[in-house]
Amino acid sequence: MKGLFSKIWLKLRTHRWKSLGLLGMMILWLFCLPKPLFEDPTSTVIHSREGVMLGAKIAPDGQWRFPKMDSVPHRFERSIVMFEDEYFYTHPGFNPVSMAKALWQNLTTEKRRGGSTITQQVIRLARKNKKRSYGEKIIELFMATRMEAGYSKDEILSYYSSNAPFGGNVVGLETAAWRYFGIPSHHLSWGQSAALAVLPNAPSLVFPGKNESILKAKRDRLLGKLLQKGIIDETTHELSLAEPLPGKPFPLPQQAPHLLEKLNRKSSGNQMITTLDIGLQRKLNAIAKEYHFSLSQNEINNLALLLLDIESREVLAYVGNAPTGKDHGNYVDILDKPRSTGSILKPFLYASALDGGDILPRGLLIDVPTVINGYNPTNFDNTFQGAVPADQALSRSLNIPAVRMLRSYGLDRFHNRLQEMNLRKINKSPDHYGLSLILGGAESSLLEITNAYAGMASTLNFFNSSSSEYRNGEFREPLFLKNTEVAEQKTRKEPEVIDAGAIYKTFEALREVNRPIGEQNWNYFSSSQAIAWKTGTSFGFKDAWAVGVTSKYAIGVWVGNADGEGRPGLTGIQAAAPILFEILEELPRSEWFAVPYDEMINTSVCMKSGNLAGLYCDDAKEEYIPKNGIKTSPCTYHQKVFLTKDESNRVNSSCYPLAEMKQKNWFALSPVQEYYYSNSHPEYRPLPPFKNDCIREGEQLMDFIFPKKNETILLANDFKENHTEVIFKLAHRTPDTQVYWYLNDSFIGATNTFHELAYEPLPGNYILTVVDQEGNEVRQNIEIGKASL
């Protein structure tokens, strides 16, 4: 009895261990495949919004290996199945008949034959092509059956096509199609597909000038098999036989190399669909090549171009640098590098001042020699207008009115406004920049500047559209990718920065900027389109800018040298503006911005001064101005004057009968302003002088042009170490008047009509006094120092 129980227990225990063994085998089978199946690094590949490849970056291991394909093209699928694994769609991962034939041939002959299915080859590739042995074959078979259970046939074929070797450092079908034929895999012909289908079996066959006969024989046999199976017809077969074989690898497309590098830093090894328009990108690349050739003749070697969609803020074209050489930093992506802004920030100040109610669109601004705490700005052409309408000061890019406007508006206030517009590269304190901030004392990138211009256009479009696509008041960051899941894109939602009325008036002023040679009469051609645009030139002719917006597009152009070398002629209007208008011609026509009436107010404006009409303005008209413009002061340039009958002199009750006085409203500037204003405005009439016997109170007849108040005069030495002369300048309202000059009460000379006096003073502090022939006097403290070497 005891022996019987022992036998029963032995059988149960044996059956138990067999069950556990089967269970263990099943668990091993279930989890035998690694996840992910392939961990090899892949190339970063970017495509246009239409799906056209823009460029690719080689994988970190030095292989051209594109990310896994989503699907396999039909021609290659039929070719590879017919060549490698004819029963691919019916077997469970291995083919017993093929394995038996291969085993028999390997045992009985010296020739070696493989019996692996495509599924087994995928496993071998995933296991890094370990040394072939019967044991390794059993492992491959075991894992292949698991793969067949967990993946569809299409997925298995996709894994194979994405990881099979195609010769050299080319891995994967898509990479091979581009490297050997210069086209995407879904454009491969039957002959090309057949040639690539035979390569993974012997990838060393691809070597220019060698093994062509072997490769051709393999391809032609496959094409014959495809014909025999009825997959292709006779005509296709003949045409395919005549197709050339793959040879020397083609270079991959490089339509946007700098954007490729930018996206690779954020999301390497991925395939990304960008926002770039392939047609526009190619056009801008051609424009960059054309202008680089001409600019390089003047040793200007770099440029950057950007095109944005106003509504979506998508980047439509991105040229990070000119097609120059390594010696000139062709690898540098200048689009996002900080450069001196020149005058390109002036529209932001003008719009901000309009929005804040500090100025009116055509209000007169002072343009005379100016010194502010030792800072002495000058206009680009070294001339002065005396007084100039604000919109003309902007369109003509006058520096002195801009500096004076910034001082009036507030440096801190404007700096904060720039931050609200996402100009993050202007990242130092306002005091660091000072008033030079508006003339290029700060640095920003073409990407930020162009996007800020686009932000103003987007805000203006919002008020003229019922579409919810427009986002009110957002100076959001530009978008580079259509698929934001691949690389996170930031969309900043900000409160309204500048109101639409101020932006519209700013764009109206920028619309009048003089275009470069060949574009002056643009408005006479129906094919031309309006654009609000601005140029900028940095100190030392190192950076040339041109940025413009239509209602649909924002265009940004920068020209210069990456190493900061300045060149003559490197100005916004000469170097950058022609490129901007070349790009504009390639864009679809855009309608001009609609007037945002709801963001403006209709009021009476003085036509002469551009300010709100005052009591003494003779010519006033109704005009739409930004809504906060109503806060500005009425015109102070017009005053009521009393004249003699012939209007030759001003009079008052102390010297002329009231009944005979003639009353008139008169437009009058200060002496210094009218000194310069009258040079370019022959119609200007200065105030008539008072009659000699009239009592005058509080009238400013004269003022110093040089030196200005609080200005220190520095004496330079000539070649003989002698101090150079100082030329004192004075503006006097009355023509043909003689004035007498005194330095610390010592008479130094007299002038008549043109009041400029040359004198050679010694360093020191003085009181400069001028007295005219009528006894009127003006004086000013001055400091004269010696210039240091």
Label residue 739 left, alpha or beta by phi (over 0 means left) and psi (-120 to 50 means alpha): beta
Label residue 535 left, alpha or beta by phi (over 0 means left) and psi (-120 to 50 means alpha): beta
Active-site residue, 448 included: no
CA distance linking residue 553 with residue 454, whole number of Å: 8
Fill in the DSSP letter of residue 437. G
- In single-letter form, the type of residue at position 132 comes to R
In the beta sheet, which residues pair with residue 388?
Answer: 365
Q: Which two tokens stand for residue 240?
A: 């395919």
Q: DSSP labels for 540-555? A: TS-EEEEEEE-SSEEE
CA distance linking residue 535 with residue 570, whole number of Å: 12
* Catalytic residue chosen out of the listed positions 98, 240, 340, 343: 343
CA distance linking residue 142 with residue 323, whole number of Å: 54
The residue among 636, 613, 632 whose CA lies nearest residue 358 is: 632
Label residue 351 left, alpha or beta by phi (over 0 means left) and psi (-120 to 50 means alpha): alpha
- Helix-helix angle 446-462:346-355, to 10 degrees: 30
Residue 540: which residues within 8 A CB-CB, separation 6 or more?
Answer: 566
Active-site residue, 84 included: yes
Fill in the DSSP letter of residue 648. S
Q: DSSP labels for 126-154? A: HTT-PPP-HHHHHHHHHHHHHHHHHS-HH
Cβ of 288: how many Cβ atoms within 10 Å?
A: 23
In the beta sheet, which residues pair with residue 47?
Answer: 53, 273
Fill in the DSSP letter of residue 631. G
CA distance linking residue 269 with residue 65, whole number of Å: 9
The residue among 775, 215, 212, 292 whose CA lies nearest residue 578 is: 292
Label residue 489 left, alpha or beta by phi (over 0 means left) and psi (-120 to 50 means alpha): beta
- Kind plus residue range of the DSSP H or E element containing 674: helix 671-680
User: Angle CA(508)–CA(509)–CA(514) in degrees, nearest 5?
Assistant: 115
Pairing of strands 662-667, 726-732: unpaired
Residue 9: which residues within 8 A CB-CB, separation 6 or more?
Answer: none
- Helix-helix angle 411-420:346-355, to 10 degrees: 100
Q: Are 353 and 599 in contact (CB under 8 A)?
A: no
- Kind plus residue range of the DSSP H or E element containing 757: strand 755-759
What strand order describes the sheet that includes 543-549? 315-319, 302-309, 553-560, 543-549, 532-537
Give all strands (DSSP E) within 14-95, no chain letters.
Answer: 44-47, 53-57, 64-65
- In single-letter form, the type of residue at position 110 comes to E
CA distance linking residue 537 with residue 381, whole number of Å: 13
Q: Residue for token digits 């002495």?
A: 376
* Catalytic residue chosen out of the listed positions 77, 84, 174, 623: 84
3-state secondary structure of 566: coil
H runs (alpha helix) in 555-670: 577-585
Q: Residue for token digits 């009509």?
A: 753
CA distance linking residue 41 with residue 60, whole number of Å: 6
CA distance linking residue 58 with residue 251, whole number of Å: 12
How is the chain split among helix, strand and coil, in percent rounded to 5? Answer: 35, 20, 45
3-state secondary structure of 706: strand
Fill in the DSSP letter of residue 33. S
Residues with a known catalytic role: 84, 343
